[in-house]
Amino acid sequence: MTDLLEVKALEVKYRTKAGVLTALRDINFSMRPGEILGVVGESGCGKSTIAGAVMRLLPLNGWISKGQVFLKGKDLVQTHPEELRSLRGRELSMVFQDAMTSLKPVFTIESQMLDILRAHNPGSNREELKKRALAMIQRVGIPDGEQRIKDFPHQFSGGMRQRIIIAMALMANPALLIADEPTSALDVTLEAQILELLRGLRGEYGTAILYISHDLGVIAQLCDQAIVMYAGNIVERGESKTLFDNPRHPYTQALLAAHPSQKRHLARLLSIPGRVPSLKDLPIGCKFADRCNFAEQVCYRSEPDYLQPEEGHFVLCHHLVGEHAESFHLPDLKENNLPKTITPAINRVPSKLVEAQELRTYFMDRKNILDQLIGRKSGFLPAVNGVDLDIQRGETVGLVGESGSGKTTLGKTLLRLVNSSGGKIRFEGQDITTLSEKSVRPMRARMQMIFQDPFSSLSPRMKVSDLLLEPFRIQKIRVDPKQKVAELLEMVGLAAEQADKYAHELSGGQARRVGFARALALNPEFLVADEPTSGLDVSVAASVLNLLKDLREKLGLTYLIITHNLNVIGFIANRVGVMYLGCLVELGPTDEIFEHPAHPYTEALLMSISDPDPTQRDKRADRVLVKGEIPSPRHPPSGCPFHPRCRYADQMCAKEIPTATLVNEGHITVCFHPTSIGKG
């Protein structure tokens, strides 16, 4: 079979203030029709530049300086822009990460789709085209397609918008679809749905997909072939089965080792030291040498060539790592032969640190003056709706759920950052629910929060040193400023020079560490960490997780970790709470939740995880995907709130609200059918 896309010795350059930078070097790959090729790597490695180069949609300061891109034998680099325009959409199509900005906000979905169809089918019947648009919308799984096609983009949720974008991209039946991180902003459940959709569409239309993602799991689940990018080079390329089973490049191996999936019993994740070199000053030899465990003299001196351990498997390295296996301390993925982490909760006398009883947080709608005058009742949004949760001293509780399930609000309510509307919060047995703000103030030192967005939680007008001294100034504690700042920076693994920087001069991982240091400054006992790894590259996320674990051991902290990433929870938490529409639907020890989930929502979340292990894909060919999306807490479904999306639901579920039942010691589920989970 001939290749659909063939990229030969591609080189892309950018003109920037710092001079001309080479963003891609010597890129070679090819795709057969109907094949899915994954491109993976950390940020700044050139993944999106590949997409831009193939589409010939590079930013204005970028250009292809060398090489060819053949699509069906036609060199796109030499093609006239007018001709390219007619190819785009018909032969080549693209889906971007941000679905909202990719849709025109002032036109209905239908009119936007008709625009595309008319451009590619001049002179066709309007009714005919309308039918085709509708068929496509229904194919990508938009419920009530006939009505909804007349809606505007803002009336759809994020997942639906991404489906619409995919529908539009596939409308002219292109031979190649380029998808640039299309699911990065979505929940795991929706991500799994979209991946399923893409796979289905590929089977139906025979569209080849070039899929770009930073998530190894997604790539392993979806792709036939995979490319690993590092600093503008392809460092490894091959069949995704071979590549993930037997990675030969140290970078690929390190990325896999840093991924927190299936590492529930590991003490630490491997984190890659250093960071991706800036294109401004690339090292002379192998670009990865500085961070490589087996770099030798030759690696620093000369650039490696591609080695070919198997047919179709290319590795940009001086040595094949197999030869060095004994010197490489990779945690074994298959057998968990490392010692289990000690769970501090077991070693100490259990005492409740934080308790929530029937906790409720409602957000009232803002009333305008007119409504106030006529006494109209304001609506409310129940973000947290009756949660019972005890957290023992020294324990780590993970809180998972899709966006909009009320995880962050629960965390903030426990810390009295948001006022509760009902129920009780106790801290060390003391009821703090109704304490005045003044009396809570001294207690705040003992319970701290790490915010989701590291940059927005650091004041832009303060230096790191000032940020770290704020806690002491506020609580009026005298400290030696220099020594304290140095101490705190060291604790979170930052260099002392960082003290003089402003927040915007830090990288994402560094900013997060500063957030940790500030939260830990006053020696708190209870720490709420909101999405501690979101927005970080795999290797950085791994080091942040290690840090959290180390600090817990060293300082005896109690954590509530809020995340939508189950892998993170599995790695760090002793107990897991699963939230859905403001309620805790399941709570239990981590191992038990992962191995024997007793709530259909938990089961669905677990099934949606993308492991970087392609063999899992075939096992899960018929995996249970949760249907639809999380409804608005404003209008919760009747009975069990999860029943419309549940595959076990029966008539009772729609009528009555289930109560908490004990499945096992310390394992609670809120479901009528806990025993049938995992058996159907």
Partner 1 sequence: MEYVVKPTNRLTRFLDRIPVLGEILHRPLGVLGFTIVLLFVVVTIFAPLIAPYKDTKQDFSAIFQPASQNHLLGTDNLGRDLFSRIVYGSRIEMAAALPSVTIGLSIGLLLGLLAGYLGGWIDNVIVVLLDSIQAFPSLVLALAILAVLGPSLTNVIIVIGFALIPGYARVTRSQVKSVKNNDYIQAEYNLGASTGRIIVMHILPNIIAPLVILVSMDLPVVITFEAGLSFLGLGVRPPSPSWGVILSDGFKYIFNSPWPVMSAAFALILVTLGFTLFGETLRDVLDPRLSGTEGS
Which residue, 538, 545, 443, 547, is CA-closest to 494?
547
Kindly indicate which of the ranges 211-219, 453-461, 538-546, 655-663 contains the residues binding partner 1, using the contact rule CB under 8 A: 453-461
Helix 538-555 / helix 250-258 crossing angle, nearest 10 deg: 50
The mark string for 347-386 relative to partner 1 (x by CB under 8 A, - otherwise) is ----------------------x-----------------
Per the CB < 8 A criterion, the answer to whether 240 and 223 are in contact is yes
Which residue, 209, 215, 192, is CA-closest to 93?
209
Place of tokens 């967005």: 453
Quick one: 445 or 654, whose CB is closer to partner 1?
Answer: 445
Quick one: 441 or 482, whose CB is closer to partner 1?
Answer: 441
Per the CB < 8 A criterion, the answer to whether 393 and 426 are in contact is no
> DSSP letter at 88?
B
H helices within 5-79, ranges in order?
47-55
Does residue 207 bind partner 1 (CB under 8 A)? no
Quick one: 37 or 485, whose CB is closer to partner 1?
Answer: 485
Q: Which of residues 637-676 bind partner 1 (CB under 8 A)?
A: none
The mark string for 520-549 relative to partner 1 (x by CB under 8 A, - otherwise) is --x---------------------------
Does residue 417 bind partner 1 (CB under 8 A)? yes
Shortest distance, CB of residue 364 to partner 1, whole angstroms? 11
Quick one: 140 or 399, whose CB is closer to partner 1?
Answer: 399
CA dist., res. 139 & res. 36, Å (int):
20
Kindly indicate which of the ranges 99-107, 160-168, 455-463, 569-577 contains the residues binding partner 1, using the contact rule CB under 8 A: 455-463
Which position among 45, 176, 415, 653 is part of the footprint of partner 1 (CB under 8 A)? 415
Quick one: 37 or 415, whose CB is closer to partner 1?
Answer: 415
Does residue 419 bind partner 1 (CB under 8 A)? no
Sheet holding 233-239, edge to edge: 92-95, 176-180, 208-213, 36-40, 225-230, 233-239, 313-316, 306-310
Shortest distance, CB of residue 510 to partner 1, whole angstroms? 16
Which residue, 73, 3, 74, 63, is CA-closest to 33?
3
Backbone CA torsion sign across 614, 616, 622, 626: negative
CA dist., res. 375 & res. 370, Å (int):
8
Which position among 504, 554, 635, 679 is part of the footprint of partner 1 (CB under 8 A)? 504
Which position among 52, 89, 153, 471 is part of the footprint of partner 1 (CB under 8 A)? 471
Which position among 239, 390, 453, 487 is part of the footprint of partner 1 (CB under 8 A)? 453
Shortest distance, CB of residue 370 to partner 1, whole angstroms? 11
Strand partners, 422: 360
Which position among 457, 510, 539, 565 is part of the footprint of partner 1 (CB under 8 A)? 457
Which position among 81, 339, 429, 460 is part of the footprint of partner 1 (CB under 8 A)? 460
Q: Tokens standing for 222? A: 């979806």
Three-class SS state of 337: coil
Quick one: 40 or 449, whose CB is closer to partner 1?
Answer: 449
Does residue 459 bind partner 1 (CB under 8 A)? yes
Amino acid (1-letter code) at residue 599: H
Shortest distance, CB of residue 481 to partner 1, whole angstroms? 16
Q: Which of residues 307-336 bind partner 1 (CB under 8 A)?
A: none
Three-class SS state of 12: strand
Amino acid (1-letter code) at residue 121: N
Q: Which of residues 433-452 bind partner 1 (CB under 8 A)?
A: 440-442, 444-445, 448-449, 451-452
Residues 6+ apart with CB under 8 A from 461: 502
Shortest distance, CB of residue 263 to partner 1, whole angstroms? 29
Shortest distance, CB of residue 543 to partner 1, whole angstroms? 22
Q: List Cβ<8 Å contacts ≥24 apart for 265-269.
A: 265/336, 265/338, 265/340, 265/341, 266/331, 266/336, 266/338, 266/341, 266/571, 267/338, 267/339, 267/341, 267/549, 268/546, 268/549, 269/331, 269/542, 269/543, 269/545, 269/546, 269/571
Shortest distance, CB of residue 469 to partner 1, whole angstroms? 11
Which spans of this chain sit near partner 1 (rule: CB under 8 A)?
A: 369, 412, 415, 417, 440-442, 444-445, 448-449, 451-453, 456-461, 470-471, 474-475, 502, 504, 515, 518, 522
